[in-house]
Amino acid sequence: MRVLFRQLEYFVAVAQERHFARAAERCYVSQPALSSAIAKLERELNVTLINRGHSFEGLTPEGERLVVWAKRILAEHAAFKAEVNAVRSGITGTLRLGTVPTASTTASLVLSAFCSAHPLAKVQIRSRLATTELYRRLRDFELDAVIAHRAPADVPEVEVVPLYQEHYVLLLPADMLPPGASTLAWPDVAQLPLALLTPDMSDRQIIDGAFADHGVTVSPQVETDSVASLFAQVATGNWACIIAHTWLWTTPLTGPMTGQIRAVELVDPVLTAPIVLATNAVGPGSPVARAFIGCAQRLALEEFFEAQLREITRRR
């Protein structure tokens, strides 16, 4: 049985790396040993899994089917071992967490509670991937959990736990804000010099949709895939930006560079988007992922972020 798991591991590595030498390096074995193990797997199954020439030329139809099952088998095997370890010594292992960039601050709050409750666990975070790629990796067992916008309806085999509603807030230098304004409408914001997230990001697509509802198309001078970079652009005094309100608690709007920055709520409409914690619905799931969900559910994230929003937008 152990040999079979090793063969499947080698096969999945080749399928993902699309290169025998890189797959062997990833699995810490020699290339001949890896190739021999996969050839033995093909003989045992009586199918050809990989098209071979001078190098890797892709998977056969049988190989494409097997790689789906192999990922599931390996994930459930790892989950079973983690379950046994959890019974014996508590939650251990590594949580592979993916977040959209605007939810990385949310992850820090949940991880603080998670790591305090489970000090033997480790965490790896991927926070620069598009939402579609996060869900793909979740379905392919490359991630244990994802904090992101709700998955499209055509994404199967995903379980979600609602976390909070993401609100959109305008950050801008104080001298760009009309006197006495406590909110701004989207058409008014479109007249400002804007720095925005890149068009491939979910938040940018939601923001563009709000402008489009008013018949407006914006063309920002600066586009970035980093929310921290948006803060920096506003701090120069040259641009305004639109961010999720969940970032407000992490970056004080006071100090030498940020003392003249204001946070203003956007209206007409007040735009929100649901953020969820998603896990793979196939199999029992890993203990580390279930523990992470438990920690997230015990936090009052909606109330926490709303309180931060009220406090900061009241400042003048």
Number of domains in the chain: 3
Task: Please give the model's pTM, rounded to 2 decimal places.
Answer: 0.71
- Same domain for 133 and 180? no
Contact between 107 and 115 (Cβ < 8 Å):
no
Q: Which pLDDT score, from 0 to 100, does residue 151 have?
A: 78
Please give the Cα distance from 130 to 127 (Å, whole number). 9
- Same domain for 187 and 287? no
Give the CB-side neighbour count of residue 307, counting CA atoms within 13 A: 5
Q: Which pLDDT score, from 0 to 100, does residue 255 have?
A: 44
Tell me whether residue 67 is in a domain: yes
pLDDT (mean) for 81-102: 76
- Same domain for 203 and 170? yes
Q: Which pLDDT score, from 0 to 100, does residue 252 have?
A: 62
Q: Residues with Cβ < 8 Å from 80, sequence gap 6 or more?
A: none
Please give the Cα distance from 74 to 29 (Å, whole number). 18
Q: In the chain, pLDDT over 90 holds for what percent of residues?
A: 27
Least confident of 73-77, 183-187, 303-307: 73-77
- Give the residue among 159, 266, 290 at the shortest CA–CA distance from 206: 266
CATH of residue 246:
3.40.190.290
Least confident of 109-113, 121-125, 127-131, 133-137: 127-131
pLDDT (mean) for 280-288: 79
Please give the Cα distance from 154 to 150 (Å, whole number). 11
- Same domain for 249 and 122? no
- CB neighbourhood size of 232 (10 A): 17
- Same domain for 121 and 176? no
Least confident of 8-17, 244-253, 288-297: 244-253
pLDDT (mean) for 162-168: 91
**Residue 152 belongs to what domain range?**
89-163+274-315
Q: Which pLDDT score, from 0 to 100, does residue 71 have?
A: 84
Radius of gyration (C-alpha) of the chain in whole angstroms: 24
- 86: confidence class by pLDDT, cuts 50, 70, 90: low
Q: Residues with Cβ < 8 Å from 216, sequence gap 6 or more?
A: 186, 187, 190
- Give the residue among 290, 283, 284 at the shortest CA–CA distance from 145: 290
Render pLDDT for 215-241 as a digit per residue (tens, 0 to 9).
Answer: 999 999 999 988 889 988 998 889 999
- Same domain for 220 and 307? no
